[in-house]
């Protein structure tokens, strides 16, 4: 029973020396951001290959941009929830901690997490395919259905700063997360189906180092078989009780 396991999991976190936290879409669901693979999730309504691949962007940049603008507006409108805040608070009691998220919604950062790696990018940023210029669109969006680069008359095509299927994750971000996980004694996995690689390797690397693993999810995931504590429930309810 989840309720019985909470005090032990809490103790484990309290005494952990190095903590890797690995989060996915489920942590933002209570904020109102849809997940991907659940019934009613994004991949129920939209085909991956139509929106989340570089090929889709070269074929239909207008539609892909429309989809990301819609999701960016939503991400700006919603608020971090008690789970995001609980993880930000964990940084104040544990200094050796890294939050490695697959989420692009910017909510961990807005909740105050600083030791943060956004493995799949950040929807508030766009970058130029020609010169690499990175634009922060958290305040103002670039003009145009398919925005072009505002940097020194470059005029190259801008794209959302997210990692699509078949694309490499930023090597330094991935390496930092893998290295940290490999040295951790505690791994907290929250709201991910654990199906997307290479990110999903993180808990396995921690396990290989002997880390104890705590998972918070409303349903079992691909990672559940290796965890020490599976806490079934909503992240917004459980995380504030764990930290």
32 binds ligand BJW, rule: CB under 6 A: no
Of these, 74, 157, 162, 226, which contacts ligand BJW (CB under 6 A)?
162
Contact region with Zn ion (CB under 5 A), list: 140-148, 150-158, 159-167, 178-186 = 150-158
- CB 178 within 8 Å of CB 171: no
198: preceding bond cis by omega (within 30 degrees): yes
CB atoms within 10 A of CB 32: 12
Picking from 9, 26, 174, 20, the residue whose alpha carbon sits closest to that of residue 91 is: 20
84 is catalytic: no
Which residues, in sequence order, are bridge partners of residue 126? 135, 160
Nearer to Zn ion, 24 or 147 (CB): 147
At 203, give phi and psi (nearest 5°): -65, -30
CA atoms of 166 and 187, how far apart (whole Å): 27
Contact region with ligand BJW (CB under 6 A), list: 125-133, 140-148, 176-184, 188-196 = 188-196
Nearer to ligand BJW, 3 or 197 (CB): 197
CA atoms of 113 and 97, how far apart (whole Å): 10
Of these, 49, 136, 145, 167, which contacts ligand BJW (CB under 6 A)?
167
The partner in contact with residue 218, picked from ligand BJW, Zn ion, none with C-beta cut-offs of 5 to 8 angstroms by kind, is ligand BJW
52 binds ligand BJW, rule: CB under 6 A: yes
CA atoms of 177 and 201, how far apart (whole Å): 10
The partner in contact with residue 157, picked from ligand BJW, Zn ion, none with C-beta cut-offs of 5 to 8 angstroms by kind, is none
Helix spans in 125-170 (H): none
Residues in 91-150 that interact with ligand BJW by CB under 6 A: 102, 104, 120
Residues in 100-129 that interact with Zn ion by CB under 5 A: 128
The partner in contact with residue 166, picked from ligand BJW, Zn ion, none with C-beta cut-offs of 5 to 8 angstroms by kind, is ligand BJW
Of the candidates 94, 120, 125, 151, the residue annotated as catalytic is 120
Which residues, in sequence order, are bridge partners of residue 136? 125
Of these, 86, 149, 186, 188, which contacts Zn ion (CB under 5 A)?
149
3-state secondary structure of 110: helix
Helical axes 235-242 vs 82-93, angle rounded to 10°: 20
Q: How far is the CB of 208 from ligand BJW (least distance, A)?
A: 17
Helix spans in the chain (H): 2-15, 26-29, 42-45, 48-51, 54-59, 61-77, 82-93, 107-111, 171-183, 201-208, 235-242
227 binds ligand BJW, rule: CB under 6 A: no
Applying CB under 6 A, the residues found at the interface with ligand BJW are 24-26, 29-30, 35-38, 41, 52, 102, 104, 120, 162-168, 191-193, 195-198, 216-219, 221, 234-235
Applying CB under 5 A, the residues found at the interface with Zn ion are 128, 130-131, 133, 149, 151, 154, 156
Which residues have a catalytic role annotated? 120
């Amino acid at each position: 029973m989840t309720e019985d396991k909470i005090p032990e999991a809490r103790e484990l976190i309290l005494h952990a020396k190095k903590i890797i936290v690995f989060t996915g879409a489920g942590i933002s669901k209570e904020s109102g951001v849809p997940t991907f693979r659940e019934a009613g999730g994004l991949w129920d309504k939209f085909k991956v290959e139509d929106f989340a691949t570089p090929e889709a962007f070269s074929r239909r940049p207008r539609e892909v941009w429309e989809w990301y603008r819609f999701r960016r507006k939503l991400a700006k409108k919603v608020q971090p929830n008690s789970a995001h805040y609980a993880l930000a608070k964990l940084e104040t009691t544990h200094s050796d901690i890294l939050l490695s998220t697959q989420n692009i919604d910017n909510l961990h950062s807005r909740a105050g997490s600083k030791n943060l790696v956004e493995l799949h990018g950040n929807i508030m940023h766009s970058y130029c395919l020609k010169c690499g210029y990175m634009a922060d669109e958290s305040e103002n969006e670039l003009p145009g259905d398919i925005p072009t680069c505002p940097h020194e008359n470059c005029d190259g095509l801008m794209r959302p700063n997210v990692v699509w299927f078949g694309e490499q994750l930023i090597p330094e971000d991935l390496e930092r997360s893998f290295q940290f996980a490999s040295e951790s004694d505690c791994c907290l996995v929250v709201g991910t189906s654990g199906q997307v690689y290479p990110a999903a390797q993180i808990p396995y690397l921690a396990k290989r180092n002997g880390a104890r693993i705590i998972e918070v999810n409303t349903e079992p995931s691909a990672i559940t078989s290796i965890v020490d504590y599976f806490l079934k429930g909503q992240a917004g309810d459980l995380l504030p009780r764990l930290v």
